[in-house]
Amino acid sequence: SLKDDMDEYFNCWWEVLMTITTVGYGDIMPFTTIGRLIIMVAAIWGAFLMSLMVVVLESIFNLPINE
């Protein structure tokens, strides 16, 4: 049940991270702590890479004011 899942502090962090990174919960998910840690690192890394890509593209297409 949801109450049982939220009794553990780590499970709460798991739910928060999956929500804020918009990864979602899905039908397939890790249940072990090490599996969840790996996915959490991958989610943060993915969010970092996406933001880096946006910054690079913005700098490529950034035009001076007079153009």
pLDDT in tens, the chain (67 residues): 455 666 677 877 877 787 777 777 666 677 888 888 888 888 888 889 889 999 999 888 886 776 6
Q: Give dist(CA 55, CA 33) in Å, integer.
A: 33
The pLDDT value recorded for residue 25 is 67
Whether 30 and 24 have beta carbons less than 8 Å apart is answered as no
Q: What is the pTM of this model?
A: 0.61
The pLDDT value recorded for residue 52 is 93
